Structure 1
């Protein structure tokens, strides 16, 4: 197929003729995806999206591979611009719709949809001010997050709180330091931390969940994936948060695995996903599954949860995964 790979430029510092310069380039994950597409026989054209400009294309492409997930410049609203332009072309595109991306960018709205659909999610309250009263049905410990952020932005090792004083401090930090319209406060669920990849449009495939295990550094702190634990490779908490991929049938009972996959499928459909996503969930000691959030157009690099689960559990290699995403996009 004729594939247009639409991406956002990444700006990195490099030495050019002995001088440090900021150079624009294609992100590494995007290059991996383009290589995978070519290995599967697709004719790939690369196009860097310029924020603020409309996307003008002819109809010579069979599909647009949307690589603009907003992470390159930490501006998710660029992703909205891209999708608006992509949808106007009328060409099939990978990933999810603008409507779904906008919904899932707002954690408050995800929660509201999950509750409306009867999908179990931790009890929550939205705070527009750190002085707002805590509802009587909210029970400590609580976790405080930005209402509109992803990739663990705004989540710290001390984001789990045990009293009102800590709660007010964390809400204030989210509102002021991260310039958020509101803070999402949820009851903290002690349990197994799961990421469940899901793919498909009308017919969906829920993959075996990957599981985050927290080692020595987390002995005296809540087991959450903070921004530092997710991205700061030099820190002990990064090294002590490991991902288990294989042997889901050994890590879970049949009933647990069924409940986890069922909850992920329900959440995926509830928010209108139609390409690929991961669902974050917690499994407590009583076997209850709580959906935390849904991540449409999640990272799909070679070491992503989706790629690892497919390779380790289903013997599907990376080029085949990328090819599958293309086929989902063009499927009516």
Structure 2
């Protein structure tokens, strides 16, 4: 199959052959950093027998349609994470592909936009009977008052950031004064609304999912653990440092592991809840849903991630491998799900 891999790139003047050469270098271990996701995906596609062309977009999104018109791919694998460095514009890639009539992998523009908007996605999930933390949104220049039905501690986040951006230990607040201070920080630093939600004490689990409709399956659960921490439960959560700062992770004993035992009843509820959330938030082909599981086996959905990171060694790829899908097979499964979805339409 002729497959185009579309992605955002820092290489403004790279042509497709340049990206192929870069892929060979990175996948071959000739660079000091982990291979970029698009190159890992492209390499897996080639190993699966597909003809792969790369479309790295830097400044002009219209290049997507120009490249596709030239190549006429049978499927586009969407690896875009942002546009011009702004992750909130990732929906432009599938929007343009839909406008051009091209088949592509992953969630549609609406799924990307809704899942990124923490307040909107919580409202939708609550409508479908799913437990979400109580929350309140604060827009810029709006007076900060605690909603009377919310209980401290609260955790304050940017409403539309991802990858735990803007989340630190200071995000958990116990007073109205601390709440106002953190909201002001979010407004100034991220120029977007802040969301303050009740902090749910419990285990942080990541539910990776793949498929659509009858083929939808939950992959083995992963869990964020703090094995060296002796602090309070409300200080154990996925800060930006806990996710991405390797020195911090080692110092604090932070690890992403396959989930420690979960009761059969809780697992059944997680399955049902995440399937409902997947459909309610317009997720497609693959996604990840972040939840908290309390000591009483209550399941609370924190947020959903449309088109999560699919590089080797990260949550969903690891979960797929645990389920018996090595990386090449995992990428092929995403391709197969997208093709089947379009063929059934």
Q: What is the TM-score of this pair, normalised by structure 1? A: 0.89
User: Which residue of 211, 231, 240 corresponds with 2:253?
Assistant: 240
User: Which residue of 51, 56, 60 corresponds with 1:52?
Assistant: 60
For residues 109-138 of structure 1, what are the alpha-carbon distances to aligned partners after superposition, in whole Å with 9 as ceiling and x for unaligned?
Answer: 101101111111111111125633211100
Distance 1:106 1:47, change over 3 A: same
Distance 1:78 1:286 in 2: 39
Alignment match, 1:324: 333
Structure holding more strand per residue:
1
Distance 1:236 1:53 in 2: 37
Structure 1 vs Structure 2 CA RMSD: 2.1
- Counting only pairs closer than 5 Å after superposition, residues 196-235 of structure 1 correspond to structure 2 as 196-203=207-214, 204-217=216-229, 219-220=231-232, 222-235=235-248
- Counting only pairs closer than 5 Å after superposition, residues 140-289 of structure 1 correspond to structure 2 as 140-180=152-192, 182-203=193-214, 204-217=216-229, 219-220=231-232, 222-236=235-249, 240-245=253-258, 251-289=261-299
Alignment match, 1:19: none
Distance 1:62 1:11, change over 3 A: closer
Alignment match, 1:81: 92
For residues 152-184 of structure 1, what are the alpha-carbon distances to aligned partners after superposition, in whole Å with 9 as ceiling and x for unaligned?
Answer: 11101121111111111111111112211x111
Distance 1:165 1:195 in 2: 32
Alignment match, 2:38: 30
Deviation at 1:73, TM superposition (A): 5.5
Deviation at 1:215, TM superposition (A): 2.6
* 1:91 matches 2:123: no
Distance 1:305 1:238, change over 3 A: farther
Alignment match, 2:10: 10
CA contact (8 A) 1:161 1:167 kept: yes
Alignment match, 2:148: 136
CA contact (8 A) 1:217 1:236 kept: no
Distance 2:39 2:225 in 1: 30
CA contact (8 A) 1:230 1:238 kept: no
Unmatched segments (≥5 aa) in structure 2: 13-20, 24-34
CA contact (8 A) 2:187 2:194 kept: yes
CA contact (8 A) 1:232 1:238 kept: no
Deviation at 1:87, TM superposition (A): 1.1
Deviation at 1:214, TM superposition (A): 1.2
Distance 2:251 2:312 in 1: 19
Matched residue count: 315
Deviation at 1:80, TM superposition (A): 2.4
* 1:309 matches 2:319: yes
Alignment match, 1:110: 121
CA contact (8 A) 1:229 1:237 kept: no
Deviation at 1:207, TM superposition (A): 1.4
Deviation at 1:238, TM superposition (A): 6.9
CA contact (8 A) 1:279 1:294 kept: yes
- Counting only pairs closer than 5 Å after superposition, residues 291-302 of structure 1 correspond to structure 2 as 291-302=301-312
Q: Secondary structure at the match of 1:45?
A: strand
Distance 2:40 2:230 in 1: 33
Distance 1:269 1:80 in 2: 18
Structure holding more helix per residue:
2
